[in-house]
Amino acid sequence: MIKTRQLFGTDGIRSVAGKYPLDQPTVYAIGCALGKWAKKTAAGGHAEIVIGMDTRESGPWIAEMVAGGAAQYGVNVRFAGLVTTPGIAYLTRTRDFVAGVMISASHNPFEDNGIKVFGHDGYKLSDDRELEMETVIFQVLANAEVPKPAVLTVDEGLDAAYVDFLASSFEGTLTGKKFVLDCANGACSHLAPELFHRLGAEVVALSMEPDGRNINLGCGALHPERLQKAVVDAGADAGVAFDGDADRAILVSASGKIVDGDQMLLIAARALKAAGKLPGNVVVATVMSNMGLEVALEAEGIRLDRTPVGDKYVLEEMIRTGAAIGGEQSGHVIFHEYATTGDGMLTAMRIVEQMAKTGKTLDELAAGLEIYPQRLVNVRVREKKPMSDIPPVMEAIRECEDYFHGKGRVLVRYSGTESLARVMVEGPELLHVERFAESVAAVLRHELGA
C-alpha cells in the first residue's frame, strides 16, 4: 500500500496557528524531524539550517519551536528574522545550509501560518523526503516529548545578502523614476523599499507597517485597487504590489492599469528571446493563463506550454524542458536563471529593468496582449466522477470547442480542496463565452449537482 502524506501539502504544512498541526507539540516535532534529517545528510556531520518568517504574530514562537526541535539533534540554527520566501530559498542554496525553513502562510489571513522546507538546492523537499519526516514527527508526538523552544537572535546579515544579490543582478539604473510599492504589511516591508532606493528610484511605500495582524489585510497583490489610485495620484512610473511572503507581484502602470502575471510573462519572454536567453523559445504557464498570451507569444515565435494549476507544476515543467521562465496569472513568476521559486521582488526588478533599458512605459511594454474574455462558473457537486465518464458533459464541451474552432477554449476541472467543479470558457466574444459557460455548467448541475 502506498503511503500518503498527512501533514505536508503542495506548499508545506499550513493551518491556523496554534491548532494542529501548527500547535506547539507538533511544531516542535517538525523541528526534531528536520534536525534528524539535517544531521544525517550534513557533510562532515556539521549541520546548519536557516529559518525566516513573515510578519504574522505567530511567527516568532513557531520559529523558536522549530529551532528547539532541530537543536535536540545538534543542528545549529541561524535566524534571518523577517525575510521573504524566495529570500530563504536563495540563502539555503547559496550558503552552507542543509535546509531552509520559511514560516509563512503567503497570501492567507494572519490567523493562518505555515512551515515550508527547502533543501540545500533551493527546491522544496520531495514528497518522499516529507513522508520520511512525517514518520519522525509522529514518533516524537507519540513519545509526548516536552517542547524545548530555542532562544533566537536575528542575523541581520542574512536578509542583507539577499538584497545585495537582487541589486547586483540589475542592469542599469532607476534614477529619475518613481515607484509606488505596496508591501502588504508583509515580509518585504523593509526589503522592497530598500532595494528600489538602492537602484536609484524615488519610492512611495504603502502597507509597510506590520503589526502582526494586518498582513494582506485589504492590501498587497490580492487587493491592488489602493495601489492603482496611488500610482495615478503620485504621477509614478509604475507600482508594485506584493503578497505576504513576497513570492508574487502584481504591477500597475502609470495609467493605473493592472499588469498581471500573463503580461509580465510576455514582457520578460520578449526580452529573453532578444537576448538569446530563451531556450527552445518556450514559456511555461498554467491552463488558467489567458489565451491572449498564447496568441501574443505565437506572434513572437514563442511557444506556450501549459500545466495544471499550481506553481509546483510550472516549476516541474520548466526543469523538464529547460525553460527559462514560467508563471501564473497571479504574478507568481519564476526566472530560473536567478531563482528556484517565484520571487515578487525579482520579478518586479526584471520588468522595471526593461523600462529602464528601453525607455518604454509599462503600458508600451505590455502592448500586443489582447485579453480574451473569460467566464468562470463554479458548480457544487456530490461526487468527482471523471468527466470522460459523463457523456452529456463531454458533448457540451465538444459543442463549445466546435463553435470556437481553435479561437477559444473550455476547461472543466475539479477543485482540489472543495466539492466543486470549475467551468472556464474563454473566447474572443464575451456574449458567446458567457453562453457556453452557463450551458456547460447547467449540464454539470444536472449530472452531478449536489
Catalytic sites, residue numbers: 106
Of the candidates 364, 350, 371, 384, which has an alpha carbon nearest to the alpha carbon of residue 195? Answer: 350
**Strand order from edge to edge, sheet including 303-307:** 303-307, 282-286, 325-327, 333-335
**According to the 3-state scheme, what is the secondary structure of 15-59?**
EECCCCCCCHHHHHHHHHHHHHHHHHHCHHHCCEEEEEECCCCCH
The DSSP code for 124 is: B
All three cell numbers of 210, joined, read 506590520
The DSSP output letter for 371 is P
Taking each helix axis from N to C terminus, what angle separates 191-198 and 156-168, rounded to the nearest 10 degrees?
40
* Distances, alpha carbon 449 to alpha carbons 320, 361, 378, 414, in Å: 38, 48, 11, 13
Cα distances (angstroms) measured from residue 282 to each of 101, 123, 273, 301, 347: 32, 22, 9, 9, 18
What are the CA-CA distances from residue 218 to residues 66, 84, 158, 183, 195 (Å)?
A: 30, 20, 30, 12, 24
Whether the Cβ atoms of residue 69 and residue 29 lie closer than 8 Å to each other: yes
Q: Which cell numbers hold the place of 168?
A: 547586483
Q: Which of these, 50, 111, 39, 41, lies nearest to 85 by C-alpha position?
A: 50
Write down the number of H helices and E strands in the chain. 14, 17
171, 351 Cβ separation under 8 angstroms: no
Beta strand ranges found along 109-201 (DSSP E): 112-119, 178-182
